[in-house]
Structure formats: structure tokens, C-alpha cells
Amino acid sequence: MIRLNGVSRYYKNRAGQTPVLRDIQLDVPQGAFVSITGPSGSGKSTLLQVIGLLDHDWQGEYWFDGQALHGMSPKARQGFARDQIGFIFQQYHLLDDLTLAENLELPLNYRNLPSKERRQKVDTMLERFGFAHRRDDYPSQLSGGQQQMLAVARALIAEPKVLLADEPTGALHSEQGRMIMELLKSLNEQGCTIVQVTHHDSFAAYGNPCYRMLDGVLSRA
Ligand SMILES: Nc1ncnc2c1ncn2[C@@H]1O[C@H](COP(=O)(O)OP(=O)(O)OP(=O)(O)O)[C@@H](O)[C@H]1O
């Protein structure tokens, strides 16, 4: 489903160019749950940003369901990402001045959907994730684990083909972290393709295959 072939990424600094991703080869089959671990600063988040099309300053080939994303303009990639890719972050990235329902509706605003259909999708998601009775609450009224659950719901509402998770449990205590991992596991069992970056070996074990990033080099763990 996703294939990276020889992807490299450099950051410019005073010394010149520092390689952060080196000749990355990665295959993510449809329905897979891929984990990427590795030490701090090794390039994991950078790789996920490339896969999530949040970063365009890379070289190499990126194939997604047979489409050559490396041949697309950044603007076209942005549209593609909105349709096909869901992203969750360590710090949730919810909008605090919007209600839970309004947060969920955000990704649908880019779609040409009648408002009734948008509302139905939001209601279904609120129900599915157990937030129906809290639709008019604000994210700050939720626990960290619940905020991350809402972020997962928001990432899924536009029915992306793949869910990318960058340290999804990083801001949570272990009980809540496990809850989020169990949620990702059950989503994967329902067919959702997932790529996660994590520091936790026990959480990495939810994935198969597992990769390890070291100094910008990705290899099978
Ligand atoms: N915008 C940037 N400009 C310059 N260097 C950057 C930038 N973003 C990241 N880097 C550098 O790229 C390297 C990889 O960073 P990245 O965030 O991908 O690592 P990571 O493995 O995700 O780390 P962590 O586990 O701590 O989140 C680091 O050395 C970092 O300092």
C-alpha cells in the first residue's frame, strides 16, 4: 500500500547539510500494523512526517496504492493526505475552543458533504467512541487518554486508508497508554492500516513488523 524507495532527507545547518533520513526502504502492506522505534533524534518523527505528507523536502520515491506521490506538487500532496491519511500526535492537537463535536467535524469541512451527512458522521463517531453524552464539552474537560481517543476519532472520521501515530502514548500514563494501544489494535483488527512511532518496547510489540531507526537508517528489528 505504501512503498518508500530510497527516501532521504537532509536538514541544513551551519556545518552544511546533515542527513536525517538515509536511503529509507519501507513497505507497509494494506492492513498492517507497523511499529518504528529507535533512540531520540534518530529520525522517527521526520520519517512519519514524510509518510504523512506534512514534509515535502525529501528525495526518493514514495508510492501509495500505486500512485507516485514523489511526482506530485506539495499542494496536490496536501489534498491527497487529507483524503487518504489520518495522523495522531503525542500532544493530541485538538482545538481547545471547539467542542468535541466541532473538533470531530473539522476534517469534514474540506469535503463537499451536505451538512446533514456531516452531522451524521460526527454523531456516529461520538457514539462509537463513547462521547455522545459529552458532545458539547471541550477537550480540556477530558482526561489525557480521552483526548487522545478523540484525536483518533477525528483522524478516522474522513475514513483515511492509513492511520499514522507519532508517539500516541507519549503524554499519557501507562494505564491510559495501554488503553490507546488496545484501541489501535482493535482498529487494526477491523482493517485499519497503522504506522506508529513509539519509544516503548512493549507498545512497539503491538506492531508487526517492527522497524528500528538508528541515525536515519531504518532496518527490521
Ligand atoms: N526543522 C529541523 N531543522 C533542523 N534539524 C531538525 C529539524 N527537525 C528535526 N531535526 C533534527 O533531525 C533529527 C531527527 O529528528 P526527529 O524528530 O525525526 O527524531 P526522533 O527520532 O523522532 O526523536 P524523538 O524520539 O526525540 O522524537 C534530530 O537530530 C533533530 O535535531
User: What CATH number does the domain containing 176 carry?
Assistant: 3.40.50.300
Q: Tell whether 198 is covered by a domain.
A: yes
Query: Could you tell me where the DSSP H helices lie in 70-173?
Result: 74-84, 100-105, 115-128, 144-156
Task: Report the number of distinct structural domains present in the chain.
Answer: 1
Ligand 1 within 6 A of 215 CB? no
On the 0-12 / 13-18 / 19+ scale of CB atoms within 10 A, 135 is middle
Task: Please indicate, yes or no, if residue 73 is contained in any of the structural domains.
Answer: no
- Residue 141's domain comprises 30-48+84-220
Does the beta carbon of 44 lie inside 6 Å of ligand 1? yes
Here the cell at position 74 is 506539495
Over 90: is that where the pLDDT of 219 sits? yes
Confidence of residue 8 (pLDDT cuts 50, 70, 90): very high
The string of pLDDT tens digits covering residues 98-135 is 999 999 999 998 888 899 999 999 999 999 999 999 99
In a domain, 17, yes or no: no
Residue-level pLDDT at 14 = 87
Q: How far apart are CA 192 and CA 188, in angstroms?
A: 4
Identify the three-state secondary structure at position 85.
strand
ipTM computed for the complex:
0.95
Q: What is the pLDDT of residue 110?
A: 82
71 in a structural domain: no
**61, part of any domain:** no
Distance from the alpha carbon of residue 145 to the mean position of ligand 1, in angstroms: 25
Beta-strand relationship, 16-28 and 2-13: antiparallel
Asked if residue 41 has its Cβ within 6 Å of ligand 1, the reply is: yes
Percentage of residues of the chain with pLDDT beyond 90: 95
- Residue 142 C-alpha to ligand 1 middle, in angstroms? 30
Mutate which of 42, 167, 198 to test ligand 1's pocket (most atoms within 8 Å of Cβ)? 42
- From ligand 1's centre to the CA of 43, what distance in Å? 6
Q: Span 156-178, mean pLDDT?
A: 95
